[in-house]
């Protein structure tokens, strides 16, 4: 598995702000390897960081800038939206989670790092869900 095939859900980025050093370090190591995120992930991060975590705008911009330096950012297109709807219906997923999976599939990723799905779940026969903090998720790649 290479970093180009990794896609990160919002919760991975949010763990950069965690008071749990092990989780923050794990998130940082995963993101440092590179991969992809979507505009939706960026927007969800801003919403939670501002509303729930009390981050100021400068901190939000700094974190997003660092993440975008490591990860390519995928657009949210009508095609991704439509795929997300199909995934939501087919797999019984909430629409926002399904749209994240659709973005990962659209990016050609084979791994989606997220806590919002079942670890080991496979979406559309080609996207493996990995929980960053599961015991079997292995060490971060160098």
In this predicted model, what pLDDT tens digit does every residue of 45-89 receive, in sequence order?
A: 999 999 999 999 999 999 999 999 999 999 999 999 999 999 999
Q: Are 26 and 132 in contact (CB under 8 A)?
A: yes
Residue 142: band (very low, low, confident or very high) from pLDDT cuts 50, 70, 90: very low
**What pLDDT is attached to residue 27?**
96
Q: Is residue 87 part of a domain?
A: yes
State the average pLDDT over residues 14-27.
95
Q: Please answer whether residues 9 and 115 qualify as being in contact, where contact means their C-beta atoms are separated by less than 8 angstroms.
A: yes
Range of the domain at 105: 3-130
CATH code, 95 = 3.40.50.1010
- Residue 2 is predicted with a pLDDT of 47
Instruction: Indicate whether 97 belongs to any domain.
Output: yes
Q: How many domains does the chain have?
A: 1
pTM, full prediction: 0.90
Report the chain's mean pLDDT, rounded to a whole number.
92
Task: Determine the pLDDT at residue 136.
Answer: 52
Domain annotation covers residue 137: no
The residue assigned the tokens 């092990």 is: 22
The answer to whether residue 138 is domain-embedded is: no
- Who contacts 90 (Cβ-Cβ below 8 Å, separation ≥6)? none
How many helices (H) and strands (E) are present in the chain, helices listed first?
Answer: 6, 6
Please report the pLDDT score of residue 3 as a whole number: 61
Is residue 135 situated within a structural domain? no
Q: Is the pLDDT of residue 140 over 70?
A: no
**Residues near 82 by Cβ (< 8 Å), separated by ≥ 6?**
none
Task: Examine residue 102 and state whether it is found in any structural domain, yes or no.
Answer: yes
Q: Is 142 a domain residue?
A: no
115 located within any domain: yes
């Amino acid at each position: 598995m290479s970093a180009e095939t990794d896609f990160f859900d919002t919760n991975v980025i949010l763990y950069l702000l965690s008071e749990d050093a092990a989780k923050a370090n794990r998130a940082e190591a995963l993101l440092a390897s590179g991969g992809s995120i979507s505009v939706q992930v960026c927007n969800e991060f801003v919403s939670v960081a501002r509303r729930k975590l009390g981050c100021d705008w400068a901190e939000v911009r700094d974190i997003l800038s660092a993440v975008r330096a490591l990860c390519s950012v995928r657009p949210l297109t009508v095609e991704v939206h439509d795929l997300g709807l199909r995934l939501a219906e087919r797999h019984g997923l909430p629409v926002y989670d399904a749209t994240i999976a659709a973005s990962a599939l659209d990016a050609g990723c084979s791994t989606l790092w997220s806590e919002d799905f079942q670890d080991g779940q496979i979406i559309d026969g080609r996207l493996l869900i990995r929980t960053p903090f599961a015991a079997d998720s292995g060490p971060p790649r160098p």
